[in-house]
Amino acid sequence: MTAAVILVTGSSSGIGRMAANALAHSGYTVYASMRETKGRNAEQVSDVEAYAREQGVDLHAIELDVTSQASVDAAVARIIDTHGHIDVIVHNAGHMVFGPAEAFTPEQLAELYDVNVLSTQRVNRAALPHMRKRGQGLLVWVSSSSTAGGVPPYLAPYFAAKAAMDALAVQYARELVRWGIETSIIVPGAFTRGTNHFAHSGRPADEARALEYDAGPYAGFGREIQAAFDRIVPEDADPATVAGAIVSVVDTPFGERPFRVHVDPSEDGAAVAFAVIDRVRNEMLYRVGFSDLLKPRGISAPEGSR
């Protein structure tokens, strides 16, 4: 039986790289995508190649800039040319920013939306025609508990982009199920250690506006928020558990995969909120006669699934 071919976006570090490694160890053919494989990420490419050799796994680095349709198309075409199919897409690429919302320019918000939301549309448009032609596939979306849980200020642009991505994932699920393509949404909570999210987060371009906040009633607020995160996130919270959840979803047989999986060490309430939100959405589909859009049926299990 041919191993499923998986593309993981945003795999130069963090959860993306962890997921790519874990999926490869589970026996899949995995492409860990990243920008500028011959430039800024050359060291990461070498590390992926060395890891694959040392561990004896089918793991490959591939250049893919999620902000460029041409780059996305080229990467997907390379995978199709090599294997003839692509079975799983893990939408993981994303970027975080931190600071008062007013101090971010509209252009910064557009850039953040591009990376976190439009990137998934580019990858989908490149990969879905191949999945639809075969009548099988799986989209795994790495969302955020911020889309429904209790959240602090100063992360508004990132949270807004993640909410948009989650909404897109839900609608795609309904529009792909009749093609035999499944959807699972992974919902991580806050992880303050083990990833580069906070260390590499963007800052407001309008520094003068940000300073007005820091010189006014919100003086020191950014530091307070990060300290609060450190208090509520357990010290042993490991982002590798998110990678494990992704592997578990891919390993699950076709037709039995969960729609949402929560991995939230701080327990911010997203699991409770989404239980209600998703139920309401599902009930509406039942009311209007589209309950078949909730689960794929009458389709054979995808080749390589286990």
- DSSP E strands in the chain: the ranges are 5-8, 29-34, 59-63, 88-91, 137-142, 181-188, 260-263
> Active site includes 158?
yes
Whole-angstrom distance, CA of residue 169 vs CA of residue 276 = 17
44: phi then psi, degrees, rounded to nearest 5: -65, -35
Q: What angle do CA 230, 233, 237 make, to 5 degrees?
A: 120
The alpha carbon of 21 is separated from its chain's Cα centroid by a whole number of angstroms, namely 15
Q: Are 97 and 155 in contact (CB under 8 A)?
A: yes
- DSSP E strands in 126-267: the ranges are 137-142, 181-188, 260-263
Closest by alpha carbon to 237, among 261, 212, 209, 265? Answer: 265
- Which residues partner with 262 through β-bridges? 187
* HSE-up of residue 233 (Cα within 13 Å, Cβ side): 20
The alpha carbon of 27 is separated from its chain's Cα centroid by a whole number of angstroms, namely 21
31, 154, 158, 213: the catalytic one is: 158
Whole-angstrom distance, CA of residue 218 vs CA of residue 253 = 50
29: phi then psi, degrees, rounded to nearest 5: -90, 115
Distances (CA, A) of 225 to 13, 61, 96, 219, 294: 24, 36, 15, 12, 38
Q: Mind telling me the catalytic residues?
A: 158
